[in-house]
Amino acid sequence: MSMENTLKTQPLKFNLERFDFILDILRRPQGAIGFTIVLLFIITVIFAPLIAPYDFARQDIPNRFQGPSAHYWLGTDQLGRDLFSRLVYGARIALSVAIPSVTIAISLGILFGLVAGYIGGTVDNLIVILMDSLQAFPSLILSLAILALLGPSLVNVVIIIGITWMPNYARVIRAQVLSAREAVYVEAERSLGATNPRIIFSHILPNVIAPALILAAMDLPWVITFEAGLSFMGLGVRPPTPSWGVILYDGFYNIRLSPWPVTWSGLALIFTTMGFTLFGETLRDVLDPRLSGTRGM
């Protein structure tokens, strides 16, 4: 083993190349519950066309506001659409917003965090000011403002969530980089003549990324509920796309005629967010025991 390799691997606290952490998660009850829910959610998302008995947009006006039955397992909404099929496809919308949004947030956050933490000085100050400015706005207000500018659509919702969540990641990564850049293995890389990009991306990034990934896992349920909230306010997806927020909104307006749309969409949100939260917290405990008992930032 070369000197370089020794220095590179020495400070790595948690080895992401090992997948036995999954087993560690499953050994813990809350981890097993969270993992199962997340797995069911992902299966639902992938196999939605096979699981849903009807087209989510198919209307059956004479059978509107039906309760659960053999025909409509979870009942129907105000236009006679099958609630089960809409919830199944709604899961797709939730994930298709959550994953790209968090990916955008974490990618931009890592980039800004690495640059700010490693370069420091004026660049660091400017990035911190930018992140503070973004965080100074309540994310909902910022989202409303941007959506008013861009117009409501799925893509815009993804972009907005990505931008509003990004400062969290940037701050976490920056804090990690600030300590990592003084580490012995980084000093050793510098003395060996490694370039800054090589030091940042080959040596620092692998050592600081884990907290960001844990944060991402814990942010997913927040993003799902955030998207549902925007859709509830009519600022998310367009009809007839069955976002859970839209189902909740329509159900809210007709709650005196049928409680089922609110009940099922509410439960879907609760279980999904609970599953991701349990999974994320267990993942944090397994991968970084130092953070056990803390939430997010």
CB of 165 to other proteins, least distance (A): 26
Residue 47 or 252 having the CB closest to other proteins: 252
Comparison of 61 and 129: residue with beta carbon closer to other proteins: 61
Cis peptide before 240 (omega within 30 of 0): yes
Footprint of other proteins (CB under 8 A): 57-59, 61-62, 64, 78-80, 234, 238-240, 253-254, 256-257
Smallest gap from residue 256 Cβ to other proteins (A) = 6
Q: Is the distance from CB of 84 to CB of 73 less than 8 angstroms?
A: yes
C-beta closer to other proteins: residue 234 or 289: 234
CB nearer other proteins, residue 64 or residue 190: 64
- Give the C-alpha separation, 99 to 220, whole Å: 7
Cβ distance to other proteins smaller for residue 258 or 273: 258
Among candidate residues 199, 217, 219, 195, the one with its CA nearest the CA of residue 207 = 199
Pick the closer one to other proteins by CB: 14 or 65: 65
**Shortest distance (Å) from residue 263 CB to other proteins:** 18
**Rounded to the nearest whole angstrom, what is the least distance from the CB of residue 237 to other proteins in the complex?**
11
Residue 143 CB, nearest approach to other proteins (Å): 17
Compare residues 120 and 240 and give the one whose CB is closer to other proteins.
Answer: 240
d(CA 294, CA 224): 21
Instruction: State in angstroms the smallest separation of the CB of 141 from other proteins.
Output: 17
Distance of alpha carbon 25 from alpha carbon 21, whole angstroms: 6
Nearer to other proteins, 28 or 58 (CB): 58
Least distance CB 152 / other proteins (angstroms): 8
Q: How far is the CB of 238 from other proteins (least distance, A)?
A: 6
